[in-house]
Structure 1
Amino acid sequence: MKTEIRQKFIVANWKMHTTSFEAQQLSKSIVEGIAAPDHVTVVLCPPFPYLPIVGDMLRGSRVALGAQNVYPEAEGAFTGEVSPTMLLDLDCKYVIVGHSERRHKLGESDSFINRKVVCALASGLDVILCVGETLEQRQKGQTEAVLDRQLSTGLAGVRPEVLSHLSVAYEPVWAIGNDEHHATPQQAHDTHLLIREKLSQMIGATWSGELTVYYGGSVEPGNAAAFLGQEGIDGVLIGGASLKADEFLAIVNAGILETEAEMQRT
């Protein structure tokens, strides 16, 4: 009997980029350019206004639609916010929660992020929880403590039966868009081990082992294979490189090749 191979996840976070036309063309190029989609799971997370446009382009394909954020209420007087119900209505399957930019630029707390996690999971969305330390925290040797706090608070109250709809993305904030500091594949591997150890303590070794853990620190076509080839790294969360179809497809292809290599080894 063959060992079941874990698919690699390639998630695109377009952040506050693209126009409606660019979003349409980019998603169209990605859908048309993906080979062997059964070997990877690909998710596109466009800005809120373009979810319907991108959703139309993805319909009938193996590429899933995701959102970059969510508000932790089903509905109500929350001007400017978007609920899980609205995302599901637009056929979103995934949502990113706790991204470093929302933590550090918009002041979101661990407790508020936890409300999002719990609400989104209860609504039926698959949640990608982002965690990670700043350069100052890393230089002070606080990486483990920061990850411990973000995971413990962020996942408080999450019921075991919904854990299959949860994944974790490690974002070394100090390495994102930073020309002076780059995380190596070995550093990413070591930090992913810390994350899995913490998750094992929180939810048990079985659930921790099955949980999908991404790396999200300035992944590009030139380094994607090195990160995806690390044991314990199940996928990548892509920022800037996801805005160019050829670069993003090259990363997707790296995920396909790594999955095929694992299939050959089993």
Structure 2
Amino acid sequence: MAQRMPLVAGNWKMHKTVEEARHLVWDMLDALRDVPEVERVLCPPFTALLPVAQMLLGTDIKVGAQNMHWEEEGPYTGEISPRMVAEFAQFVIVGHSERRMLFGETDAMVRRKVHAALRHDLIPIVCVGETLEQRRAGQTEAVVRKQLLAALEGLQPEQVARLVIAYEPVWAIGTGEAATPEEAQRVIGQVIRAALAEAFGPETAQAVRVLYGGSVKAHNAAGFFAQPDIDGALVGGASLDPVQFPAIVRAAAR
């Protein structure tokens, strides 16, 4: 089977005005261009999707949205549709823990977003992960497996092979406390890939790219990328740093 291409996505969250976004892209564009063996995705806020996409024209750097609704259009105040996202982006983050915890996003809603993304030729980055309480209670495997299989319910193996999974332990997001590379490898290899193999077959499980997310920095990225089942990272805070983010991308080149 062909080797999975590493992928590093930067989730800017609710940061950067349009002007600030332009400056950030400009500051790291040359460094990001130099790593074609890694798929690079920038996920700015909705207001900056178009200007960032325009700046990346003519490069192989991709754009992603941080969220979207599952309907094509309609009376959904404050939402953005997959059709709108697809005008500017190639990827979309779905099921991020902040969406689940702060905005009440359920497994059923995540599933609808995954299906909608695939209908519009968007690649969903499907986020799964346990809270600190669940981890302490020994529920990591059950929680991650449930979130994963619920999000992918109703898909065919060839559809699953196209998408990206991000394992983001909630207790490690924005806290500065990352899982160890060995902990992340155990969950990704023994839980996520095992569940994918059981539900969709071993070939599909080996084709899917699985990222780690949770306090990934330039100084610890290489440890994660050295693990056999970790194909890259979903980067939060460090993606706003024009020096750190390209350094993380370079660490993923292998």
* TM, length-normalised to structure 1: 0.92
1:69 aligns with 2:67: yes
Tell me the residue number matched to 1:189: 185
**DSSP-derived class of the 1:59 partner:** coil
Which segments of 5 or more consecutive residues in structure 2 lack a partner in the other structure? none
Shift of 1:4: 4.2
Number of the residue aligned with 1:236: 233
Residue 159 of structure 1: CA displacement?
A: 2.6
> Residues 158 and 4 (structure 1 numbering): CA distance in 2 closer, same or farther, change over 3 Å?
closer
2:173 counterpart (171, 176, 183): 176
User: Does the 8 Å contact 1:31/1:61 carry over to 2?
Assistant: no
- Cα pair 2:68 2:80 within 8 Å, conserved: yes
Q: State the percentage of identical aligned residues.
A: 47
- Which of 7, 15, 21 aligns to 1:17? It is 15
Deviation, 1:36, is: 3.6
Aligned residues: 253
Of 117, 140, 147, the residue aligned with 1:143 is 140
Question: 4+ residue stretches of structure 1 with deviation over 4 A?
Answer: none
> Which amino acid counterpart does residue 71 of structure 2 have in structure 1?
E
- Contact 2:33–2:61 (CA<8 Å) still a contact in 1? no
Q: Does the CA contact (< 8 Å) of 2:4 and 2:207 recur in 1?
A: no
| Deviation, structure 1 residue 30 | 2.3
Match of 1:30 among 23, 28, 43: 28
Answer yes or no: is 1:100 the counterpart of 2:97: yes
Alpha-carbon distance, 1:243 to partner: 0.2
Q: 1:68 to 1:110 in 2, by over 3 A?
A: same
In 1, are the aligned partners of 2:156 and 2:200 still within 8 Å (CA)? no
- After superposition, give the CA deviation of every residue in 1:154-208 in whole Å (9 maximum; x if it has no partner): 11111333223211000011112225x4311110110111110011111111100
Q: Which residue does the alignment assign to 2:118?
A: 121
Counterpart among 191, 203, 206 of residue 206 in structure 1:
203
Structure 1 distance, partners of 2:178, 2:157, is 35
Distance 2:133 2:97 in 1: 14
Tell me, yes or no, if the aligned pair for 1:68 and 1:96 is still in contact at 8 Å: yes
Confirm or deny that 1:223 pairs with 2:212.
Answer: no
Tell me how large the CA RMSD over aligned residues is: 1.3
CA–CA distance in 1 between the matches of 2:26 and 2:180?
32
Distance 1:191 1:205 in 2: 17
Q: Secondary structure at the match of 2:243?
A: helix
